[in-house]
Each structure stands twice: as C-alpha cells, then as structure tokens.
Amino acid sequence: MDVDLGDARSILVGFGAGAVVLVALYSLVGLEDVASALSRADPWLVASVCVVAIGWLFAWAMALRTVLSVIAVEVSVWQAFLLFAGATFANNVTPFGQAGGEPFSALLVSRTTGTEYENGLAAVASVDTLNFVPSITFALVGVGYYATQFTAGDRVELAALALVALALGVPTLAYLGWRNRRRVSEFVVSAAVPVGRTLGRAVPGVAPPDEAEIRGQIEGFFAALERVGGDHHKLAVALSFSALGWLLLSLSLWLSLLALGHAVPFAAALFIVPLGSVASITPLPGGLGGVEPALILLIVPITGVDAGTAAAAAVLHRGATYLLPVLLGGSATAMLEANNVHESASD
C-alpha cells in the first residue's frame, strides 16, 4: 500500500493536533499531579497492562480469522495477528477511528490474502460490527452493578443515558440499513460515480470509476456480509473472541488503576472502556485527544479517584492500547507489504 505525500502530511497534522489537545488536557489536570501519580506506578503491573493489550489484539485477530474463514479465506493464526495488528494501526493513524481505517484495512487484507477487496471490506466491517455487541453488553452489566451498589452522580447518569441511546440507536440504524440495502447500494453508486468522474477530470492519472464495476463491488460486499451472517456457529465463535477482547481491554484499564494504587471494582472498567471508546470517532487519528478526556471524565465520578490519578491511568491504558498497537501494527503492515511485493515480483 503506497502512502503519498498528501496522506503522510495529513497523518502528521492529525497527530500534531492530537498532541496539542493532550498537552492542553494534561496541563488543565495538572502535569505535576499526573507525573507524581505515574512515578508511584508498580512497574510489574504496568508491564502486565502491555501483556493484556497484546492478548486483546490476539483475541480480536482470531475473530477476524474466523470471519475470513466464513468467506473461504484461510489464514494462519500468525497471519491473522499481523493482519489485525495492521488494521489497528490503520485505525489509529486515520481520523474517525474504524470508519477512517476500514478502507486501508480491507486493502491490506485483500492484498495479503488475494481475495477481492469487497470481501476484505466485508470481513473488516463484520468484525467491527460484532465488536459492538459485547461492548454494549458489558457496559450495561457495569451500569447495572453501579445502579444497585452506589448512588450515581449526574455525570454517571448522563453516561448511562448515552449508553442506552447507543444500545438502542446503533442496532436500529444497522437493521434499517440492512433491510434497505438495495436502496443503500443505489445511493452509494449514485454518489460515488459523479465524485469519481470529477476526480478523474481534475486529478491527472486517476481513472474515472466504471458504474458497473462499482455496482458489482457493492453487491459483492453485501453478498459477503450475508455469508458471514448466515454461519451462526462461526458467528458465535467470532463473538466469543470479541467478548474476550473487550474483557481484556477492560482489564487493561483496571490494571492501570491498580498499578497506581487504586483497586476499583472491575465493573467500573466494564462501564468506562466501551463508553470511552466512542470518542475514537473524533476527527483525530485513532481518537487521540478524544478518548483520553472521555476516560478521565468517566473515571473520576465512577471510581472516585482524583483527576491526576485518572489522567495517569489514561496514560497507561492508552499507552498499551493505542501507542503499542501503532508500533506493532506499523511493523506488521511493513512485514505484510514487503511479503506482498516479493510475491508479486515472483509471479
């Protein structure tokens, strides 16, 4: 996958904007308080946060491998891990989280496995959709626990209402979109063709898309989604891996707080992590500068820790679940692409 100068520049601008937001955020919380909390962190528990984060990547990689097998694309466990690490890298360096990274992830899957692009996109989109189910389920469990054990504050009640809205709204939109997929397909074609032709006239070397080709790719995408949804056994297996991944993500935050000397109820992490991840749809790479303040705003009222400790926990958790996957995923993408180029040259 070639990244042109414009892509690299936009990525750098995004990271720069995210860094500015983070500096402002931690300055507001108090850099000395955050540094003081981090200086007291247990190094063994911090290391365990990184190990748990790798376990999360592996669990979701197995979900991707399971979904790929439904559409007759077989990959090894190691290859699936590299593919998902690469997909996570794409999500973390592009704006709007998964929405921005999916096209690049699908291209990586397509080039690595030799499958059609629409099959790769369907697999990636299916995993992202499956991941929504256990995230909302675990968050509702966390909300239920707090509703019975503690008196919720205004912020917690607002977060709970937002969670309920997500639990009802997203499945409803997905259902309506699926029921009306023919109309969705026609809308995409009618929008993509004029835009593509405009780009073809304005940008040298860019060929305008063929309407029949676009229509065929969209139909192939929906057909692949139907195959994934039709295999209930493998769907259940993929959901199990997805649930395991969310448990590990929640464990990462819980361990981050424990490393700072605060043993909070695990239900708090089950509630905080899925809600905090919603902020990844911000127009910054991987939600950088969006997820961190969301985590702090949730951690403080739900766990009762001070803002400095909450910000330090966000540093540890995001370091393991954002920065570490960027490093691993960037390396994985480079390895896969080098192998793709080698195989292309050998043909």
pLDDT in tens, 240-277: 999 999 999 999 999 999 999 999 989 889 888 988 88
138 vs 80: which has the higher pLDDT: 80
d(CA 19, CA 4): 23
Q: How high is the pLDDT of residue 5?
A: 41
Provide the pLDDT confidence category of residue 4 given band limits of 50, 70 and 90: very low
Q: Is the distance from CB of 306 to CB of 32 less than 8 angstroms?
A: no
**Count of structural domains within the chain:** 1
Q: How high is the pLDDT of residue 306?
A: 92
Residue 74: CB atoms within 10 A of its CB come to 10
Q: Where does residue 81 rank: exposed (0-12), middle (13-18), buried (19+ CB within 10 A)?
A: buried
Quick check: is 195 in a domain?
A: no
CB neighbour list of residue 67: distance below 8 Å, 6 or more residues apart: 123, 126, 127, 130, 228, 234, 238
Quick check: is 202 in a domain?
A: no
Dihedral over alpha carbons 339, 57, 65, 333 (to 10 degrees)? -20
- Let me know how long the chain is: 347
Give the domain extent around 237.
Answer: 44-179+232-346
- Phi, psi dihedral angles at 204 (to 5 degrees): -65, 140
Provide the pLDDT confidence category of residue 156 given band limits of 50, 70 and 90: low
pLDDT tens profile 168-223: 666 677 667 667 767 766 666 666 556 555 655 554 444 555 555 556 556 656 66
Q: How high is the pLDDT of residue 92?
A: 87
Quick check: is 7 in a domain?
A: no
DSSP helix, strand, coil percent of the chain (3-state; round to 5): 85, 0, 15
Quick check: is 74 in a domain?
A: yes
Q: How high is the pLDDT of residue 45?
A: 97
Quick check: is 267 in a domain?
A: yes
Q: Span 131-145, mean pLDDT?
A: 77
Nearest to 152 by CA among 306, 304, 308, 309: 304
d(CA 139, CA 40): 29
Q: Where does residue 282 rank: exposed (0-12), middle (13-18), buried (19+ CB within 10 A)?
A: buried
pTM of the entire predicted model: 0.82
d(CA 27, CA 47): 26
Task: Report whether pLDDT(300) > 80.
Answer: yes
Q: Give the SS3 label for residue 264.
A: coil
Q: Span 329-343, mean pLDDT?
A: 83
Task: Report whether pLDDT(233) > 90.
Answer: no
Chain position carrying tokens 């309920």: 164
Q: Tell me the two tokens of residue 49.
A: 């946060």
Quick check: is 125 in a domain?
A: yes
Q: Span 227-252, mean pLDDT?
A: 87
- DSSP-assigned states of every residue in 95-146: TTTHHHHHHHHHHHHHHHH---HHHHHHHHHHHHHHHHHHHHHHHHHHHHHH
Q: Span 9-21, mean pLDDT?
A: 75
Quick check: is 256 in a domain?
A: yes
203 vs 119: which has the higher pLDDT: 119
d(CA 250, CA 273): 6
Q: How high is the pLDDT of residue 153?
A: 56
Highest-scoring range by mean pLDDT, 11-20, 55-64, 181-190, 274-283 = 55-64
Quick check: is 6 in a domain?
A: no
Q: How high is the pLDDT of residue 161?
A: 67
- Give CA separation, 274 vs 125, 137, 159, 295, in Å: 18, 10, 11, 10
- Give CA separation, 62 vs 127, 172, 221, 299, in Å: 10, 27, 21, 30
d(CA 74, CA 41): 42
Q: Span 53-81, mean pLDDT?
A: 92
Single-letter amino acid, residue 116: E
- Mean pLDDT lowest among 58-62, 74-78, 202-206, 305-309: 202-206
Provide the pLDDT confidence category of residue 15 given band limits of 50, 70 and 90: confident
Q: Span 69-88, mean pLDDT?
A: 90
Q: How high is the pLDDT of residue 206?
A: 47
Q: Span 94-119, mean pLDDT?
A: 79
